[in-house]
Amino acid sequence: MPIRRRVFFRERSEILATSGESISSKEPMVFRMERPYVILGVSASLDGRISLGPGRTLMDLDQRDDVLGTREEWEDFYGKLNDRHHPEVWMEGSGMLVKEGAELRELEPFKGDAKVLYEDFLPPDILNKPGRTGWLVAVDGRGRLRSGYTGEEDKPMLHLASHSVPPEYLWFLREKGIPYLLAGEERVDLELALKKMKEKLGAKNVLTSSGGKLAGALLKKGLLDEVYIRFNPVVIGGFETPVLFASPDLGEDEWPVFLQHMDTKVCWDGHIFTRFKVVRD
């Protein structure tokens, strides 16, 4: 373990011996970053699975999914995170909304100079909409989210796309009045996208309940700051079932990402709420 990390853990263990934080306590957050503060809130089985099986989107949920949280339990969990962090952006990955390999809705071809489409689309009437409290943001680097969902009354939908998406997708979003920000060539450059959200949307806090691939990518790129996990007393198993953090295997010289424990609450029924901060290099 690098010396810096060893020192950090020694100091931290001394602090922890005297600390007793809780999920509902307010904590001043002092940080000066070019990007927003990014918080992950997810629900997992004891073996770290976040879904009952591979390729299950929101549309596939059934009664069994309650083992990861009933509607009321989700509302309570995110309600607390909302009260604590006041996120302006609620961000999801595309894996929650569209299956890998799913047939995509065909869109009207765009007839015109496509160059104009490859610029951020942030109509002032949506940006300055009275009563708007935040944004629902979907990472959609390949242009697969084509439902035309425009979000909630107070939280409009916004897509994060890469420059690899076809023009008809961007035209479709414009026609539907769905704002988008472009970042990255082949897939979304997550760091640039976060910076843009701070600069253009004024986002200081981003809450993501993303699937494991997005969470893994954010964590590996040093773009995740805080992690809340609700562990449920079940084991789901599976070789392909989505896990909390999915990313390429660790290289021979690579170190795991270190996290600092902040708080854990064990409930009478076996649910464990735990909170960690990601250790910065």
Ligand X SMILES: NC(=O)c1ccc[n+]([C@@H]2O[C@H](COP(=O)([O-])OP(=O)(O)OC[C@H]3O[C@@H](n4cnc5c(N)ncnc54)[C@H](OP(=O)(O)O)[C@@H]3O)[C@@H](O)[C@H]2O)c1
Q: Which residues bind ligand X (CB under 6 A)?
A: 42-43, 50-51, 56, 68, 93-96, 139-142, 187-188, 190, 209-214, 217, 242, 246
* Cα–Cα distance for residue pair 40/21, rounded to 1 Å: 18
* Cα–Cα distance for residue pair 44/56, rounded to 1 Å: 15
Output 155 or 163, the one with its CB closest to ligand X. Answer: 163
CA 149 to chain centroid, in Å, comes to 18
What minimum distance in Å lies between the beta carbon of 9 and ligand X? 28
What minimum distance in Å lies between the beta carbon of 141 and ligand X? 3
Token code pair at residue 112 = 């015109």
Output 127 or 234, the one with its CB closest to ligand X. Answer: 234
Output 50 or 173, the one with its CB closest to ligand X. Answer: 50
Output 113 or 269, the one with its CB closest to ligand X. Answer: 269
Burial of residue 183, with CB atoms counted within 10 A of its CB: 0-12 exposed, 13-18 middle, 19 or more buried: buried
142 φ/ψ sector (left φ>0, alpha ψ -120 to 50, else beta): alpha
Output 134 or 143, the one with its CB closest to ligand X. Answer: 143
Cβ count within 10 A of residue 216: 19
What minimum distance in Å lies between the beta carbon of 222 and ligand X? 13
Using Cβ positions, the residue closest to ligand X within the complex turns out to be 211
Q: Which letter does DSSP use for residue 239 in this model?
A: S
Token code pair at residue 244 = 């909390």
